[in-house]
Chain A
Amino acid sequence: MPTFVWLTVVTALRILQRNRLRAGLTMLGIIIGVGAVIAMVSIGEGAKLAVQKQIASMGVNSILIWPNYSVISGVRGGQGAVVTLTVADAIDLKKKIPLLAEAGWSRSGSMQVMSGGRNWSTTVIGASPSVLTIRDWAYSSGGPFTQTDMDTAARVALIGQTVVDNLFESGEEPVGAVIRVKNVPIRVIGVLSPKGQSPSGYDQDDVVIIPFTTAERKVLGTSFLGSVSGVHVSTDRTEDIFDAIEQIREVLRSRHRLQGDRPDDFLIRTQIDVAKIQEGTSETLTGMLLVIASVSLLVGGIGIMNILLVSVTERTREIGIRMAVGAKRLHIMMQFLIEAMTLSMVGGGIGVLLGVTAAKLTSIIAGWPTIISGKTIVTAFGFSLVVGLFFGLYPANKAARLNPIEALRYE
């Protein structure tokens, strides 16, 4: 049997070579199908990884709580119109909920910052040191401020790369320099590593972070001491996030004396929601592309079936001869299945080359990240084999069921 199989493969290759144009056109569907599957999955996987990286950069285990409008005697104030979230809330959350690893708070505002002759409008965030941990900032130079800086309302700042680019000459060292924020001189002690764009599209590097106390007392000012524009908490484990959210809601509702069906005066958001939406989107996209690519493979399979049916008819007499000299049904069947699979294998091979090239070109030309995994290639190639096998079955069976006498007489 092995001799039979490889001799039949050789024969099949010879037939392909003899009808190069026909074989090429037949394989086109498989070539495009396999190529498309590989290119699409590579691009999709690349996009997914990019999204995951972006999400990881935001800290997946973190929960952000914002003040919402509050309803007093049926009057709904705007968001943040009334102080609904305070430093005390944050401290109490940490104390009452063991699931929380860290709790911090921040207030932010848009301000003009200056250095030398340059100025730049940016977001100034006053944050407790724990916010730095929760948001998982890294430093390209310098380092974070400490609890002591917080306690003494020290005039120190961490600045993002965008701010560096706009306030300093290239090559100038920002750490140690003094910038002015609303005319308050503040020393730069660290530069944040670039995080790039957030999933919602704002520049995460366009930021100046100073200790919360410094912001409250010297820079942003406040109408109510201890009011915050955000409470940040984190859990040790991602799977605890949803339990933590429930407990935060309970604690805050009780602290804010919200009874019965009165709405929350705060909003809770996690990066997981964003992450899920983003991942979902890229998965849906990959799925859709994959479906389209599979349809192309399917069409390719039908092409193979079509050409094999033609081949069976053309070679009816040959089939008769083979049967007369002792070929069994299985031999005839295998001959045509091998031809079908040779077609789909050669097509699949060319398709793999095409797909990998397309994915690489997409990376180079469009700058999209692509991941060409061995698994994708093997799956796409395997799928083309299955298509060949499946669509070869009908013609092969048709050939094997021919009556030898009629086949021999066929003109």
Chain B
Amino acid sequence: MVPLIVCEDLWKVYRVGDIEVQALRGLNVTINDGEFVAIMGTSGSGKSTLMNILGCLDQPSKGHYRLGGVEVEGLQPDQLAEIRNRKIGFVFQSFNLIPRTSALENAQLPLLYRGLSLKEQRARASTALERVGLKGREHHTPTQLSGGQQQRVAIARALVTSPSLLLADEPTGNLDTGSSYEIMAILEGLNRDGITVILVTHEVDIAAFAAREIVIKDGQVLSDRAIQDRAH
């Protein structure tokens, strides 16, 4: 079976003025379909850059990234947008919902760019909201929802396209412990249903929900291990 994610000798070099910053330095990682991976590392370790590349928001300076066997290198912005829309769901630390727009419409957003009929968009978005336990809150706007609920809307938005990969960048960073565990339980459930989940976090107890822990330092993989004592 072809692994879902294959990163070979991944380099990312930024220029900030005259200074060259090497965010990734020959990183190698392979993630299989259906895995639940936590990526950890201090700030500046390169984990955000890695997430951007894995999410097809950015491209490596050098090296190869294959997503589901497809080489991402050399693709045009619109082709990357297509991949993000079809294969990837994003969950961000700051929720990133569109303000003054209902939960349903936020969850519908990825489908808007697929040219589906409004009826189908709504039906699929409602199902996704139901799955994250927000039935009855479809018409609430982000300001009318708690942080945990907003993050659930964001998860519903990520789910609505039935992606094969869900990328969560510190999804619990802005949440209290109770909400954090609820969110993690939802992610765990999704993983159990077959979606590959990659999670970036600082917190050990959050990382403990995952099955595999990759620690990044200075743009390279420092350690890569299976988590024995998973939280449930």
Q: What residues of chain A have their CB less than 8 Å away from a CB belonging to chain B?
A: 1, 3-4, 7, 18, 317-318, 320-331, 404-405, 408
Of all chain B residues, the one with the shortest Cβ separation from A318 is B98
A3 adjacent to B116 (CB under 8 Å): yes
B92 within 8 A of A: yes
Contact flags (1/0) for B61-90 with A, using CB distance below 8 Å? 000000000000000011001101110001
Tell yes or no: B231 within 8 A of A by CB: no
Complex A-B: 10 CB contacts under 8 Å? A3-B112, A321-B97, A322-B98, A324-B84, A325-B84, A325-B85, A326-B113, A326-B114, A327-B81, A328-B82
The answer, among B77, B99, B118, B157, for a CB contact under 8 Å with A325, is B157
- Report the 3 A-B pairs with minimum CB-CB distance, sorted nearest first: A326-B85, A325-B110, A328-B78
Given contacts A7-B112, A408-B92, A408-B96, contact A326 B117 (CB under 8 A): no
Instruction: Indicate if the CB atoms of B117 and A4 lie closer than 8 Å.
Output: no
Known A326-B84, A408-B96: A331·B58 in contact at CB below 8 Å = no
CA distance A283 to B31 in the complex (A): 76
* B-side contacts of A327, CB under 8 Å: 81, 112-113
List, in ascending order, chain B residues with CB within 8 A of A405's CB. Answer: 52, 57-58
Closest-by-CB residue of A relative to B157 is A325
**CB contact list, B175-201 vs A, under 8 A:** none
Q: How far is the CA of A321 from the CA of B117 in the complex (A)?
A: 21
Distance to closest chain B CB from A326 (angstroms): 2
A321 and B116 within 8 A (CB): no
Main DSSP-derived SS at the A contact region: helix
B117–A317 touching, CB < 8 Å: no
Tell me which of A320, A323, A325 has the highest count of chain B C-beta atoms within 10 A of its own C-beta: A325
If A326-B81, A326-B85 touch, does A7 touch B118 (CB 8 Å cutoff)? yes
B4 lies within 8 A of chain A by Cβ: no
Contacts of B99 in A (CB 8 A): 318
Cα(A298)–Cα(B77), bound, Å: 34
Contact present for A3 and B57 (CB under 8 Å): no
**Nearest neighbor of B158 in chain A, beta-carbon distance:** A325
Q: Using Cβ atoms and an 8 Å threshold, which residues of chain B touch A322?
A: 98, 109, 113
Chain B, range 98-128, C-beta contacts under 8 Å to A: 98-100, 109-110, 112-118, 121
Measured between alpha carbons, how far is A330 from B113 in the docked complex, in Å? 10
**Cβ-defined contact, A325 with B113, below 8 A:** yes
Binding site for A on B (CB under 8 A): 52, 55, 57-58, 77-78, 81-82, 84-86, 90, 92, 96-100, 109-110, 112-118, 121, 157, 161
**B92 CB to closest chain A CB, in angstroms?**
7
Give Cα A322–Cα B141 distance, bound, in whole angstroms. Answer: 17
- Are A326 and B82 in contact, with the CB atoms below 8 A? yes
Apart from the given pairs A7-B118, A328-B81, 15 other A-B contacts in the complex at a CB distance below 8 Å: A3-B112, A3-B117, A4-B112, A18-B100, A322-B113, A323-B57, A324-B55, A325-B109, A325-B157, A326-B81, A327-B81, A328-B77, A328-B78, A328-B113, A405-B58
Known contacts A4-B112, A329-B78: does B57 contact A324 (CB below 8 Å)?
yes
- Among B58, B97, B112, the most chain A Cβ lie within 10 Å of the Cβ of B112
- A340 to B77 CA separation, bound complex (whole angstroms): 24
B90 touches A325 (CB 8 A): yes
Closest to B108 in A: A7
Distance in Å: Cβ of A170 to nearest Cβ of chain B: 72
Instruction: Decide: B81 and A323 in contact? CB cutoff 8 A.
Output: yes
Which A residues touch B58, using CB under 8 A?
A: 405
Contact A3 B90 (CB under 8 A): no
When the two chains form their complex, are residues A3 and B118 in contact, meaning their CB atoms are under 8 A apart?
yes
Q: Of A3, A4, A329, which contacts B77 at CB under 8 A?
A: A329
CA distance A18 to B101 in the complex (A): 12
**CA separation between A320 and B95, bound complex, in Å?**
13
CA distance A326 to B57 in the complex (A): 10
Closest to B118 in A: A3
Instruction: Tell whether A4 pairs with B57 under 8 Å between CB atoms, given A325-B84, A325-B110, A408-B96.
Output: no
Whose C-beta in chain A lies nearest to the C-beta of B167? A324
Determine whether the beta carbon of A3 is less than 8 Å from that of B115. Answer: yes
A321/B98 in contact, CB under 8 A: yes
A318 to B98, CA, bound (A): 6
In the bound assembly, the distance between CA atoms of A308 and B209 in angstroms comes to 44
Instruction: Tell me, rounded to whole Å, the shortest Cβ–Cβ distance linking B125 to chain A.
Output: 12
The distance in angstroms between the C-alpha atoms of A137 and B154, with both chains bound, is: 84
Instruction: Write out the residue numbers on chain B whose beta carbons fall within 8 Å of the beta carbon of A320.
Output: 96
Q: How far is the CA of A326 from the CA of B85 in the complex (A)?
A: 4
- CB neighbours of A330 from chain B (8 A): 78
Chain A contacts for B161, CB-based, 8 A: 326
Interface centre among B109, B113, B115, B118, by most A CB within 10 Å?
A: B113
In the assembled complex, the CB of B208 is this many whole angstroms from the nearest CB of chain A, namely 27
| Bound Cα distance A324, B60 (Å) | 17
Assess whether B116 is in contact with A404, with CB atoms less than 8 Å apart: no
A125 CB to closest chain B CB (Å) equals 79
Distance (whole angstroms) from the CB of B184 to the closest CB of chain A? 22
C-alpha gap A320/B84 in the complex (Å): 13
CA distance A331 to B78 in the complex (A): 10
Q: How far is the CA of A13 from the CA of B54 in the complex (A)?
A: 36
Q: Quick one: closest B residue to A400, CB to CB? A: B77
Most buried by A among B85, B86, B121: B85
Given contacts A3-B115, A405-B58, contact A326 B96 (CB under 8 A): no
Chain B proximity of A195: nearest CB distance (Å): 65
